[in-house]
């Protein structure tokens, strides 16, 4: 059976990784990583050839398993935390230091007046880099950012305030979602078969090894 060629107008490659605005540090947020994994698990269950999950499926056992693979722990408040490579304490976020290691909020030095702003913007960049573009959590962050920028715009007097406005404004619009080689219309709607059903559960592991693990993310974006 001959393969039907793709149309020349159909995209074949995904766009380049999201480029962060200049001046923002590279951060790593385990809570956003687990949100991405949860969305991937739900997406896999909805694929053709997969057994549809029952309503209200509990994904916590799978999330706990992947959290252990990534080296995460749950804090007493129920938040995902990851170990700092400098002080060995667990933190809700890490920031890449000049020596190439991950440091927690206590090990990194940021201007005290702009610290929360920088962390907020850097985490949104992190979400875009792991292709977490939507959902309630990200949409709520963008709405908060819009309110923060509107309040800051009326009282911006210092260079730091103008920099925050310039960096934050582009993050209000999410980057275009990657296009994964659109299939020919003749194949749209057809089941992907047993091969895809067998490979789909391996997708999360591939993402963890190539992007979501702290070491993999630092390898890809450490010099960005």
In tens, the pLDDT along 165-211 reads 888 888 988 777 655 544 544 444 444 566 666 777 788 999 999 99
Query: What number is the average pLDDT over the span 111-129?
Result: 84
Residue 130 within a domain: yes
Quote the mean pLDDT of the chain: 79
Query: What number is the average pLDDT over the span 119-138?
Result: 90
Confidence of residue 106 (pLDDT cuts 50, 70, 90): confident
User: Domain range holding 55?
Assistant: 27-177+192-221
For the segment 61-97, what is each residue's pLDDT rounded down to a tens digit? Answer: 999 999 999 999 999 999 999 999 999 999 999 999 8
| pLDDT-above-90 percentage for the chain | 37
Confidence of residue 54 (pLDDT cuts 50, 70, 90): low
Please report the beta strands in the chain, taking only residues with DSSP state E, as ranges in sequence order: 27-28, 72-74, 80-83, 90-91, 94-96, 102-103
Confidence of residue 123 (pLDDT cuts 50, 70, 90): very high
User: What backbone phi and psi angles, to 5 degrees, belong to 137?
Assistant: -65, -45
* Closest to 122 measured CA to CA, from 210, 38, 224: 224
Domain count, the chain: 1
Confidence of residue 34 (pLDDT cuts 50, 70, 90): very high
**CA dist list (Å): 173 to 74, 153, 169:** 32, 18, 8
* 108, HSE (Cβ side, Cα atoms, 13 Å): 24
Residue 5 within a domain: no
Question: Is residue 151 predicted with pLDDT exceeding 90?
Answer: no
Listed in sequence order, the residues at least 6 apart from 86 whose beta carbon sits closer than 8 Å to its beta carbon are 97, 101, 102, 103, 104, 107
Helix (H) or strand (E) holding 201: none
Residue 31 within a domain: yes
pLDDT at 81: 96
Residue 200 within a domain: yes
Residue 96 within a domain: yes
What is the spatial distance between Cα 148 and Cα 142, in angstroms, rounded to a whole number? 10
Confidence of residue 113 (pLDDT cuts 50, 70, 90): low
Gyration radius of the chain's alpha carbons: 20
pLDDT at 206: 92
Residue 151 within a domain: yes
pLDDT at 5: 43
Residue 199 within a domain: yes
pTM for this prediction = 0.80
DSSP-H helix ranges across 46-82: 60-70
Residue 101 within a domain: yes
**CA dist list (Å): 78 to 61, 87, 132, 183:** 15, 22, 22, 42
pLDDT at 128: 93
pLDDT at 180: 53
């Amino acid at each position: 059976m001959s393969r039907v060629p793709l149309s020349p107008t159909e995209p074949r490659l995904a766009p380049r990784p999201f480029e962060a605005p200049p001046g923002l540090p590279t951060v790593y947020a385990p809570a956003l990583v687990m949100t991405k994994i949860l969305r991937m698990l739900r997406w896999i269950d909805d694929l053709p050839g997969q057994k549809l999950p029952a309503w209200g499926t509990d994904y916590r056992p799978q999330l706990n398993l992947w959290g252990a693979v990534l080296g995460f722990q749950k804090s007493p408040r129920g938040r995902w935390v990851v170990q700092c490579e400098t002080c060995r304490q667990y933190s809700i976020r890490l920031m890449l230091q000049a020596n190439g290691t991950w440091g927690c909020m206590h090990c990194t030095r940021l201007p005290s007046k702009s610290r929360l702003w920088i962390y907020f913007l850097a985490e949104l960049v992190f979400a875009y880099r792991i292709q977490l573009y939507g959902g309630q959590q990200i949409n709520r962050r963008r709405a908060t950012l819009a309110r923060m920028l509107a309040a800051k715009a009326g009282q911006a007097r210092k260079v730091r305030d103008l920099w925050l406005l310039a960096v934050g404004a582009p993050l209000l619009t999410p980057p275009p979602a990657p296009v994964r080689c659109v299939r020919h219309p003749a194949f749209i709607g057809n089941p992907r078969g047993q091969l895809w059903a067998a490979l789909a559960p391996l997708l999360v592991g591939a993402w963890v090894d190539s992007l979501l693990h702290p070491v993999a993310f630092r390898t890809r974006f450490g010099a960005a």
